């Protein structure tokens, strides 16, 4: 089955700095890679996703890159703000019969210091 590794497990940055979270996956058939943000006491919320037919995607201060050959993908947050503090999860998925089974990384706790 799929295995997703995520690093680092915790990340502390100063407000305004950039944050980078990296993930690797094992199943070369995986072709959908979402990133979720989980705030304290809440469920995960999708912030950006990328499909295997593109190498990079950007949405305002958030960008994701994908290297299919190396089987790794990364989340980049620029100009971090205190409200970016949360746990971030990467995930990988491939289409199966009916349904989209996500395998999650172990999560990164991001702390943005004002």
Partner 1 sequence: DTAVSQTPKYLVTQMGNDKSIKCEQNLGHDTMYWYKQDSKKFLKIMFSYNNKELIINETVPNRFSPKSPDKAHLNLHINSLELGDSAVYFCASSQEYQPLSSYNEQFFGPGTRLTVL
- Nearer to partner 1 by Cβ, of 27 and 78: the residue is 27
- Nearer to partner 1 by Cβ, of 19 and 89: the residue is 89
Shortest Cβ distance from residue 70 to partner 1 (Å)?
21
Shortest Cβ distance from residue 33 to partner 1 (Å)?
10
- Cα separation, 110 vs 107, whole angstroms: 9
* 32 closest CA partner among 86, 104, 87: 104
What does the binding site for partner 1 look like in residue numbers (CB under 8 A)? 32, 34, 36, 38, 41-46, 49, 51, 87, 89, 93, 95-104, 106-107, 109
Q: Are 22 and 6 in contact (CB under 8 A)?
A: yes
19: its two tokens: 């944050």
């Amino acid at each position: 089955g799929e295995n997703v590794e995520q690093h680092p497990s915790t990340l502390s940055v100063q407000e305004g700095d950039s944050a980078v979270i990296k993930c690797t996956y094992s199943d070369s058939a995986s072709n959908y890679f979402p990133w979720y943000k989980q705030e304290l006491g809440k469920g995960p919320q999708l912030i950006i996703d990328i499909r295997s037919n593109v190498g990079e995607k950007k949405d305002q201060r958030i960008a994701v890159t994908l290297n299919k050959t190396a089987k790794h993908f990364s989340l980049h947050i620029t100009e971090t703000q205190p409200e970016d503090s949360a746990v971030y999860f990467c995930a990988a998925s491939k289409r199966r019969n009916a349904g989209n089974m996500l395998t999650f990384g172990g999560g990164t706790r991001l702390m943005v210091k004002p």
